[in-house]
């Protein structure tokens, strides 16, 4: 039940941030080397039990019926990987006071914000347990889950270096938890590698809990969406990361780098927006000029001398007459080229011209 509660909390922690992004966002460099893949595997129950019995013998402790029940099933079937991991934990907690104290320390790790600059001291596995055994990896996985549960992703990343294929029982849970931690600290390549590892393990181990598979799908989709984010969405993620660090009393170099990255990203985004706005204003002014012709009967304030050269058109009578066909064409052209309210004036002109006597007494225009 405790591990189920852990992964329910993980869902909230991982996906409550806005759904790495583009080059203006403070994120990992694009030239970061791809993480080295490890051939993770799921050990058999016999391998794990053998190491546990060896430890119990070295500590001169007796495996009681209370402990033995964790290693058996009612139908005598093989323990699932998840239950095998729990069997190791519960057995150690019962038989070793040091392991029980370690459990309590993991459960109470950093539940409250700490003073600025105060570094947390992570619980240490009892010295009686060899780092290369499944017992050690199982205890460290319990701490890793506790760190992710309280959003201490940087400490979780540091702890990940202690895991190997030789000391891990529930490799699927380990790699899924690692993917969550990497995703929260903006290490995309490592998160993707961890998800790939988990999917391979889940494919080979059909007892992998369904909730693990669903969380992996959600996480994978969230990573895809984050890679399509715009500038502000990506900056928002970084701000959430900075807030988390400060809340945990982290004011060191990593936190300062995150804050510096946020400021640089904001400067680039503002510069980009200002450039876009300037371009849009320029296009708007050009469009406004081209789409606003002079209104009818408006006096345009054009500057110029106003001089018009006189043209000698002669003094022959009938200077304004046009043949009917040409007159009709001129009328149509004028109607097209001049404002509509000039139509009456144009028609009146031609009617007057049509009714004028065609004689030599028609006055010519004054020069």
Confidence category of residue 223, pLDDT binned at 50, 70, 90 = confident
Dump pLDDT digits (tens) for 255-304.
777 778 778 878 877 887 788 888 887 776 666 655 555 555 555 555 55
Query: Average pLDDT in the 157-173 region?
Result: 95
Dump pLDDT digits (tens) for 183-214.
988 888 999 999 999 999 999 998 999 999 99
**CA dihedral of residues 271, 273, 278, 282 (deg, nearest 10):** 150
What is residue 71's DSSP assignment?
G
Region for residue 89 given its phi and psi (left: phi exceeds 0; alpha: psi -120 to 50; beta: otherwise):
alpha
And the tokens for 338? 């001049």
Mean pLDDT of the chain: 76
Q: Would you say the C-alpha torsion 258, 260, 263, 265 has a positive or negative sign?
A: negative
CA 261 to chain CA centroid, nearest Å: 15
* 134-149 and 97-107 helices, crossing angle to 10°: 20
User: According to the model, what pLDDT value does residue 170 have?
Assistant: 97
Dump pLDDT digits (tens) for 308-320.
555 555 555 454 5
Taking alpha carbons only, the member of 129, 130, 133, 197 closest to residue 166 is 133
Place of tokens 């009393």: 249
Taking alpha carbons only, the member of 98, 180, 108 closest to residue 136 is 98
CA 139 to chain CA centroid, nearest Å: 33
Per the CB < 8 A criterion, the answer to whether 362 and 317 are in contact is: yes
pTM of the model: 0.61
Query: Average pLDDT in the 68-93 region?
Result: 90
And the tokens for 46? 């016999």
Is pLDDT larger for residue 114 or for residue 81? 81
What would you report as the CA-atom Rg of the chain, rounded to the nearest whole angstrom?
42
pLDDT at 85 over 90: yes
């Amino acid at each position: 039940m405790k591990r189920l509660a852990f992964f329910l909390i993980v869902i909230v922690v991982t996906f409550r941030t806005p759904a790495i992004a583009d080059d203006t966002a403070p994120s990992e460099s694009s030239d970061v080397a791809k993480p080295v893949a490890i051939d993770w595997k799921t050990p058999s129950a016999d391998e794990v039990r053998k190491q546990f019995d060896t430890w119990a013998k070295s500590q001169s402790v007796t495996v009681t019926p209370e402990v033995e029940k964790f290693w058996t099933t009612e139908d005598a079937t093989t323990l699932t990987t998840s239950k095998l991991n729990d069997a190791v934990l519960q057995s150690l907690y019962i038989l070793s006071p040091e392991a029980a104290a370690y459990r309590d320390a993991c459960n109470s790790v950093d539940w409250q914000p700490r003073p600025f600059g105060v570094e947390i001291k992570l619980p240490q596995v009892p010295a009686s347990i060899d780092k290369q055994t499944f017992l050690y990896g199982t205890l460290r996985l319990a701490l890793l889950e506790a760190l992710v549960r309280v959003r201490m992703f940087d400490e979780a990343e540091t702890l990940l270096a202690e895991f190997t294929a030789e000391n891990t029982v529930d490799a699927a849970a380990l790699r899924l938890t690692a993917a969550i931690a990497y995703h929260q600290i903006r290490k995309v390549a490592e998160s993707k590698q961890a998800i790939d590892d988990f999917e391979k393990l889940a494919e080979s181990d059909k007892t992998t809990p369904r909730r693990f598979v669903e969380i992996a799908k959600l996480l994978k989709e969230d990573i895809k969406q984050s890679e399509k984010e715009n500038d502000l969405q990506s900056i928002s993620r970084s701000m959430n990361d900075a807030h988390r660090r400060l809340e945990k009393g982290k004011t060191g170099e990593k936190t300062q780098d995150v804050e510096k990255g946020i400021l640089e990203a904001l400067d680039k985004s503002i510069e980009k927006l200002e450039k876009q706005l300037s371009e849009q204003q320029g296009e708007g002014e050009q469009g406004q000029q081209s789409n606003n012709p002079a209104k009818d009967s408006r006096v345009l304030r054009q500057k110029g001398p106003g001089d018009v050269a006189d043209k000698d058109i002669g003094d022959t009578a009938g200077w304004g007459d046009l043949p009917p066909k040409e007159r009709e064409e001129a009328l149509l052209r004028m109607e097209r080229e001049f404002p509509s309210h000039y139509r009456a004036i144009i028609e009146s002109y031609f009617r007057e011209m049509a009714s004028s006597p065609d004689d030599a007494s028609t006055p010519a225009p004054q020069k």
